[in-house]
Amino acid sequence: MTKHDVLSLLRAAAAPVSGEQMSKALGVSRAAVHKAVGQLRGEGYTIEAATNRGYRLLAEPDRLSGARIGQALAEHPWRERMVVLQSVDSTNNYAKNLAAAGAPEGTCVIAERQTAGRGRRGRSFVSEEGGLYFSCILRPRAAPQELLHLTALTAVAVSDAIEAVTGMQPQIKWPNDPVLSGKKVCGILTELSVVAESNEAEYVVAGIGINCNQLGFPPELSGIATSLRAETGKPVDRSALAAALARSLERMGRALFEEKAAWIARFRERCVTVGKDVVILRGDTSSPAYAAGVGPDAELLVVYPDGTSGAVSSGEVSVRGMYGYAE
């Protein structure tokens, strides 16, 4: 007996079906049925257990669906540009190859799982099923030094999409980690290719990994990562979230220069780092500082213990009391 047999019975049942009925039908113990129900719940099936009546299948876990994403993007200019994959090494790699081959702005590569997801600073990014792995090609007409704020604005766009689908309002840990309850819910890796002759961006790939329906994480992540499902108590429709991300990134692309100040203001409002003691990590050195604000290009404005001030544009900043804090 597998959990699939239990699932088939639950799917076929017009009314709640008891553990006793299932154990008889399948020729296994009630404990085995109970165990299978637990496994199915762990995979995202919503199964109600009503006393004296039995089990009822209320909802199935969502599978990423190109058709559903397309439906949710009706009339949207990016609608035909969604590439949905079961498994890929890294959606950023795949999107970079498409971009280099001339794919238009708004091409989004969306995967159920990645086998070699990449994070910032050469780290790997755990990319198991239940998450949403999404990379979007943007083609801003600008030099790299005019795009310093892009990664921060991407975090705002992602937070908007999460809010639209779940009602939760993520904060942002500088420079671009959306967080819920002080834990990381999403990682963002933006990669830029430059045309050497003109020093203009050829393309940007905004890579976004959102913890959606995971209920647990590997031990090294459990204290620092959360998922939308863990926060809301409900499974997330990842196809709806993918469509919301595409819409939000398209808005961001249009706002990148003309509404820059307004979007930076929204970044500031969400930025959980401001007003906190931080540690700035550069190479092997770490400097304590106070995060006083966010500048016009989304740089972190800091004050050092000796009273001098500075601006941090890149690198790692740990926030005292938050995940990843380095003493």
Binding site for ligand BTN (CB under 6 A): 90-92, 114, 117-120, 123, 125, 133-135, 187-189, 207-209
Minimum distance from CB of 172 to ligand BTN (Å)?
Answer: 12
Measured from the CB atom, is 75 or 220 closer to ligand BTN?
220
Cα dihedral 291→294→299→303 (10° resolution): -30
Shortest distance, position 121 Cβ to ligand BTN, whole Å: 7
- What is the SS3 assignment for 202? strand
Q: Which residue of the chain is nearest ligand BTN when measured via CB?
A: 187
With respect to ligand BTN, which residue has the nearer C-beta, 111 or 278? 111
288/324 with CB nearer ligand BTN: 324
Question: Quick one: 55 or 133, whose CB is closer to ligand BTN?
Answer: 133
Task: Give me the DSSP letters along 44-82.
Answer: T-EEEEETTTEEEEEEPPPPP-HHHHHHHTTT-TTGGGE
Nearer to ligand BTN (CB atom), residue 209 or residue 235: 209
Q: C-beta of 142: minimal distance to ligand BTN in Å?
A: 22
Nearest Cα to 278, choosing from 131, 194, 178, 174?
174
170 phi and psi, to 5 degrees?
-65, 150
| Crossing angle (nearest 10°) for helices 150-166 and 238-255 | 140
CB of 34 to ligand BTN, least distance (A): 36
Which DSSP state fits 139? -
Nearest distance, CB of residue 138 and ligand BTN, angstroms:
14
Exposed e or buried b per residue across 107-146, where buried means at least 16 C-beta atoms within 10 angstroms of its C-beta: bbbbbbbbeebbebeeeebbbeebbbbbbbbbbbeeeeeb
Nearer CB in complex with ligand BTN: 23/213? 213
User: Is the backbone peptide bond immediately before 175 cis, with ω within 30 degrees of 0?
Assistant: yes
Q: Which residues, at least 6 apart from 273, have a Cβ–Cβ distance to it below 8 Å?
A: 172, 173, 174, 291, 300, 317, 319
Q: Which is nearer to ligand BTN, 114 or 213 (CB)?
A: 114
Q: How many CA atoms lie within 13 A of 244 on its CB side?
A: 20
CB of 110 to ligand BTN, least distance (A): 9
Q: How far is the CB of 256 from ligand BTN (least distance, A)?
A: 20
DSSP state of 274: T
